Structure 1
Amino acid sequence: CESCQQQQQQPHCDSGGVRNPRRSIPLPYIMDLERNPVPDQLGYLVLTEDGSVHASGGELENDERRANIISTILSLTDTVDPAVFKPRSCRTISIVYPEHSYTICLSNKRIYVVKKRVTENGGNSGNLGEGHSIRA
């Protein structure tokens, strides 16, 4: 995921975590958004496949409302014409507002959501006008 890949540090502990062959950082380290937040992280949600909150923190602590909205967005990606896009081909969705963004990543039967502060040097490709954009 876009936010997960920005984390380039090595873990502080020797957890012996499982490695994803496409990444050089152990997965448990990447997915620990509480102890190892991504840069400019304001909050996070970790959801199960059915949309229930598994973990949360920061501005998204126990935010069932946003969890339901995100689950609905993900269910919409399943309704895209399979002749155009392969089923389950969407792995990352970014929703960008002027002050913050949400990055939604699907990994290991979990849904990871990171709310980040938008910085001046952060590009907003896919702009919808009025400072909003959606990238998938």
Structure 2
Amino acid sequence: MLFRSCAGGLVFCEDSVLILKNEKDEWVLPKGVIRAGDYAREVALRRVKAEAGVEAEILSSIGETNYEFYSITRKRPVCNQVTWYLMTAGSLQSRFSREDGFVDGGFYPIDQALEMITYSQDRALVNLAAKRYRGFKQGKL
């Protein structure tokens, strides 16, 4: 099995969260592989910018998730360990990247996004991050 360290962002603006729809018709969160010499924070910010065209700012780390899948191109199983960051953006403007395999995306009201997100692990993460984000907005954190 190939093990990869990744980083991603849960980006909030106003009462909306950024999600992306990939070519497999899955609604997901922006993330990418951490390469040698990269910091997780940098990768998360860079992938949010590359995949969604959003300039974001990190508020805090939010946790880690793991998931496995079979890579057809690599002909073996892959395990991604993703470090997630709670982020905020100053605008609802976004632009999903077709070059990175996305067919739709943008900021959606949190309740709507929770219904759209494909994976339960991602929904749970958005739920947690939304609570923390509201705390930041209210100056409680």
TM bucket, shorter chain: under 0.3
Computing the radius of gyration over CA atoms, which structure comes out larger, 1 or 2?
Answer: 1
Q: In proportion to residue count, which structure has more helix? A: 2
Q: If the length of structure 1 is used for normalisation, what is the TM-score? A: 0.26
Q: In proportion to residue count, which structure has more strand? A: 2
Asked which structure has the greater RCO (Cα within 8 Å, sep 6+), the reply is 2
